[in-house]
Chain A
Amino acid sequence: MEPHFLSIIIKNLGKSYNVAILKDINLEVPQNQILGIIGKSGAGKSTLLRCLNGLEQPTTGTITIDNQLFTGVSDKERRRIQHKIGNVFQSVNLLSRLTALENVMFPLKLFKGNSKDIHSQALKLLHLVGLNGKENAYPSQLSGGQAQRVAIARALMGDVSLLLCDEFTSALDFETSLEILELLRDLNKRLGVTIILITHDMAIVREICDEVCVLEAGQIVEKNDITSILLHPQHTVTKSLIRHLITKDLPHHLQEKLNKTPTDKCFALLRLFFSSKAAGDPIIASIVKTYDVPINILLGSLDHIRETAFGSLIVSIPFELEKITNIMKDLDQRSVSAEILGYFPQSGGHSWNS
């Protein structure tokens, strides 16, 4: 991989219909990267991707793909660049009257007519996506996952250097999604394809993305590598999006009992994040010892992002302002981030836990 070779450069991109949908987007995607775009529904993720594949024209700004200007150019020039972009859409959209193999060959047949090379590349790609023996099956004879694989193979036909995926796993079960993601990562490594992927599913982001870009109300509010995004989310949207992934939340009926402010005799509920460094140390034990507090573990989970292990715990500690402040400082020094979720009245505070 050539260092610093940028697959995509987006400068001051804006898109409006009647209202502004995308505002001043600036983004650079290095070649070979897998970039995830996340954000709430209506944030403008699909619109951004449709600007990248040429289905929409940006209102302002420029897009450069593989060092060639993609916006404001002639139809002919745009089409030439489009040949290097593969698209996997949410709905599979195969041609129903063509076989799996013919569907994969379709993009090149559209432009170059018949040739042996097209046939052999299509065959190779079909095998790469694990569809040996299904070459002559029609889309109606394929399962959803198989059809999506055909669509991926089709997207990779020709010399595609950029693959754009918009929520293509949402119709698939998680197992199948994982298999397909595995495949994408493999293609990314083997063929050096840059991949941009939109998804609602943080578990998918965690599995595959190198970097994540968070879109909110048409703007990029955060962009970072996957580990930082998951362990140290900055923007509230990012936090709320990843909370479901990393932490198990308190059951709803307990959350309702939580007070925002401490009462006379109460427990403080803390959420602790561990990253791989800290996960090995006996932190809880040493806190218990140092501060002489009974720490009660209510919920916990251990997880992995790529090779980094991390965990989250929800614990309760009898509330004493000074002690809690010191404990939080101490935790911070051990690179465990702690956050107070709320306060429980002491009566019955522990009863549900035994």
Chain B
Amino acid sequence: MEQLVLHSFLETLFMVTASMFFGTAIGIFLAFLLVLTKPSGLWPKPWISQSLGVFLNAFRSIPFIILIILMIPFTRFWVGTSIGTAAATLPLTFAASLLIARIIEDALNTTSKGLIEVGKALGASNLQIIFKIQLREALPLIVSGLTTVSINIIGFSAMAGTVGGGGLGDLAIRYGYQRYDFTLLVLIVIILIIIVQCVQMTGNFLEAKLKK
């Protein structure tokens, strides 16, 4: 049984890390696009920011379980199969990027107009303002946001069992719930709680370090 739990744990770890990694990369890109192109942004292109905003909201309002099913054709195309851990990572990455895009956008937007004008009056370029002022100021907020998203994604990854994605959630449903192995169920719940706690504590620690 230990073998089984360890294996599932590693699968969860893989799904969460991979989707957070790619999700953050895509999320940062989308967030920058949103912040730059908003009407009051440094590169105002309202049609981009507005259509992107509508797109993000539309997909964020779809329950994750439905998203997995909707994405099956894409998953098949990209991963070659719609079943398995790798296949589950695709919808997870997609969900993570949507959440992260909004969180980073909000964090970047908290930079005061005055601070941005300090940069402009210094003759800084748009990229310098985004990277050296906005991103720098927003870092603690971004870290705390990423912590929250990680925890969400851990939860989502449990649903990945639906597409045979494996992981701890999948194990809990198949062995704990369907085969009435109550001990295993409790064990998995405890492991999940510990993981979430660890993520939260690491996040809090980093945030405190970054905040002055």
Contacts and interface: CB of A to CB of B under 8 A. Distances in A.
Interface in A45-68: 53-55
A97 B117 contact: no
B120 A97 contact: no
A139 B112 CA distance: 15
Interface stretch (A87-95, A115-123, A219-227, A329-337): A87-95
B121 A53 contact: yes
A176 interface: no
A79 B122 CA distance: 7
A97 B118 contact: no
Residue with the highest number of chain B CB atoms closer than 10 Å, among A89, A110, A111 = A110
Given A89-B117, A89-B118, A91-B114, A97 B137 contact: yes
Interface in B80-133: 112, 114-115, 117-125, 128, 132-133
A85 interface: yes
A82 B124 CA distance: 9
Interface residues of B, number: 22
B179 interface: no
Nearest to A164: B121
A96 B137 contact: yes
B120 A55 contact: yes
A107 interface: yes
A140 interface: yes
A87 B118 contact: yes
A93 B121 contact: no
Interface string A181-196: 0000000000000000
B35 to A, nearest CB: 18
Interface string B15-33: 0000000000000000000
Interface residues of A, number: 24
Contacts of A98: 136, 212
Residue with the highest number of chain B CB atoms closer than 10 Å, among A54, A80, A96, A99 = A96
Interface string B164-193: 000000000000000000000000000000
A79 B123 contact: yes
B208 interface: no
Q: Is the interface of A mostly helix, strand, loop or mixed?
A: loop
A85 B121 contact: yes
Nearest to A151: B118
B112 A93 contact: yes
A78 interface: yes
Nearest to A79: B123
Nearest to A78: B123
A66 to B, nearest CB: 15
B121 A82 contact: yes
Contacts of A93: 112, 114-115, 117-118
A149 to B, nearest CB: 16
A204 to B, nearest CB: 21
A83 interface: yes
Contacts of A139: 212
B112 A110 contact: no
Contact of B133 (A55, A95, A138): A95
A140 B112 contact: no
B42 interface: no
Contact of A83 (B117, B123, B212): B123
B123 A80 contact: yes
A93 B120 CA distance: 13
Residue with the highest number of chain A CB atoms closer than 10 Å, among B118, B136, B210, B211 = B118
Interface string B134-145: 001101100000
B212 A138 contact: yes
A67 B46 CA distance: 38
B123 A82 contact: yes
A97 B121 contact: no
Contact of A96 (B114, B118, B122, B212): B212
Contacts of A138: 212
B212 A140 contact: yes
A95 B136 contact: yes
A199 to B, nearest CB: 18
A91 B112 contact: yes
Interface string A229-265: 0000000000000000000000000000000000000
A155 to B, nearest CB: 9
Contacts of B118: 87, 89, 93
A187 to B, nearest CB: 19
A83 B120 CA distance: 11
Contacts of A78: 123
Nearest to A92: B114
A-B complex: 9 closest residue pairs judged by Cβ atoms: A79-B123, A82-B123, A138-B212, A93-B114, A53-B121, A87-B121, A93-B115, A91-B114, A93-B118
Interface of A: 53-55, 78-80, 82-83, 85, 87, 89, 91, 93, 95-99, 107, 110-111, 138-140
Given A55-B121, A82-B121, A83-B122, 6 more contacts: A53-B121, A54-B123, A55-B120, A87-B121, A89-B117, A110-B128
11 contacts: A54-B123, A55-B117, A78-B123, A89-B114, A93-B112, A93-B114, A93-B118, A95-B136, A97-B137, A111-B123, A138-B212
